[in-house]
């Protein structure tokens, strides 16, 4: 068969098949899709309600706390100014109590030492070769250190955006369709952290991997990993001294090319 461009294009057009979906199957597929859409809408409504409720609860708690603080501050003044007044004696006694309470509160804040806040320092970049779908690809990676723990890792430019919040640093792509969070759990045991992390993945996944020990070839730390889909997501947890490092990831399939090798490079870079 020897074809020129026009003939070949004509032959390609002729490849249009007349095959079509079986009407019965099509109808049942449509039903299943509509059912899924209903379920999804219900779930997102529930999620939204939960967000609204938790926001309202948080606001309420803040309101109560602010009111208490204002009340406490105001109630101190009359006791100081009118402590000799017979009329205010009982009031001042009562007022003394909240004033004492506020001291207690201050002590409580001092006593409960929050862990030193996590921060990330960005260091030099370097070029690294990763294997993406069997093809060697040069990527620029940046070295990061999580302080005060001194945990070092590398992250590719694809996930070069990052924010830190509490004990977590979140790296994400420009389109925010792929992200990795790295969290340090202080004085924690790997198994406790894994069971807690696992409970975050209680969704309706069509693939759930069993928790598996991480490879010792990647880094020297004892760890557990688990992968779910769709969308692809999961975690790696490593016992690093007395702390546990938890890496969680999620990405849409469109952004997924190269995420596997990128995650592997990240795991291998942990020191």
Q: Is 38 in the site for another protein (CB under 8 A)?
A: yes
Residue 223, classed as helix, strand or coil, is: strand
* 8/58 with CB nearer another protein: 8
Residue selected from 80, 97, 186, 230 as contacting another protein according to rule CB under 8 A: 230
Q: What angle do CA 98, 100, 103 make, to 5 degrees?
A: 115
Candidates 31-39, 63-71, 184-192, 207-215; binding stretch for another protein (CB under 8 A): 31-39
Please name the residue ranges forming H helices in the chain.
5-14, 23-81, 89-111, 190-198, 259-269
Q: Is 40 in the site for another protein (CB under 8 A)?
A: yes
* 39/94 with CB nearer another protein: 39
> Nearest distance from residue 258's CB to another protein, in Å?
13
User: Contact at 8 Å (CB) between 224 and 211?
Assistant: yes
Q: Is 21 in the site for another protein (CB under 8 A)?
A: yes
Residue selected from 12, 66, 70, 106 as contacting another protein according to rule CB under 8 A: 12
Residue selected from 61, 77, 106, 253 as contacting another protein according to rule CB under 8 A: 253
Residue with tokens 């990993």: 225
**Exposure pattern of 56-90 as b/e (b: 16+ CB <10 Å)?**
eeeeeeeeeeeeeeeebeebbeebeeeeeeeebee
Candidates 18-26, 75-83, 159-167, 181-189; binding stretch for another protein (CB under 8 A): 18-26
Candidates 6-14, 63-71, 81-89, 117-125; binding stretch for another protein (CB under 8 A): 6-14
Residue 135, phi then psi, degrees to nearest 5: -110, 135
* 141/178 with CB nearer another protein: 178
Residue selected from 198, 231, 264, 268 as contacting another protein according to rule CB under 8 A: 231
Candidates 33-41, 75-83, 182-190, 234-242; binding stretch for another protein (CB under 8 A): 33-41
User: Contact at 8 Å (CB) between 226 and 209?
Assistant: yes
User: Contact at 8 Å (CB) between 236 and 183?
Assistant: no
> Nearest distance from residue 34's CB to another protein, in Å?
5
Helix axes 23-81, 89-111, angle to 10 degrees: 130
Q: Is 41 in the site for another protein (CB under 8 A)?
A: yes
Q: Is 29 in the site for another protein (CB under 8 A)?
A: yes
Q: Is the alpha carbon torsion for 210, 216, 218, 222 positive or negative?
A: positive
Residue 42's CB: how many other CB atoms inside 10 A? Answer: 10
How would you class 95 by CB atoms within 10 Å of its CB: exposed for 0-12, middle for 13-18, buried for 19 or more? buried
* 41/189 with CB nearer another protein: 41
Q: Is 177 in the site for another protein (CB under 8 A)?
A: yes
* 3/58 with CB nearer another protein: 3
- Give the footprint of another protein on this chain (CB under 8 A): 1-3, 5, 8-9, 11-22, 25-26, 29-30, 32-34, 36-38, 40-41, 177, 230-231, 252-254
């Amino acid at each position: 068969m020897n074809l020129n461009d026009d003939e070949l294009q004509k032959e390609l057009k002729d490849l249009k098949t007349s095959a079509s979906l079986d009407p019965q199957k099509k109808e049942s597929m449509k039903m299943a899709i509509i059912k899924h859409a209903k379920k999804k809408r219900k779930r997102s409504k529930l999620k939204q309600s939960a967000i609204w409720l938790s926001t309202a609860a948080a606001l309420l708690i803040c309101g109560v706390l602010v009111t208490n603080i204002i009340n406490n501050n105001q109630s101190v003044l009359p006791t100081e100014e009118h402590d000799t007044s017979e009329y205010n004696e009982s009031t001042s006694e009562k007022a003394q109590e909240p004033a004492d309470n506020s001291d207690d509160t201050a002590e409580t804040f001092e006593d409960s030492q929050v862990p030193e806040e996590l921060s990330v320092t960005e260091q030099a970049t370097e070029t690294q070769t990763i294997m993406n779908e069997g093809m060697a690809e040069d990527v620029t990676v940046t070295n990061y250190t999580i302080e005060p723990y001194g945990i070092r890792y590398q992250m590719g430019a694809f996930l070069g955006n990052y924010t830190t919040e509490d004990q977590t640093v979140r790296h994400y792509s420009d389109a925010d369709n792929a992200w990795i969070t790295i969290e340090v759990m202080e004085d924690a045991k790997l198994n406790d952290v894994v069971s807690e992390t696992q409970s975050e993945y209680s969704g309706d996944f069509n693939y759930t991997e069993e928790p598996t020990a991480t490879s010792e070839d990647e880094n020297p730390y004892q760890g557990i990993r688990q992968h779910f889909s769709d969308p692809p997501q999961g975690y790696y947890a490593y016992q690093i001294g007395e702390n546990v490092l938890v890496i969680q990831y999620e990405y849409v399939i469109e952004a997924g090319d190269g995420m596997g090798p990128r995650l592997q490079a990240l795991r291998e870079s942990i020191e």
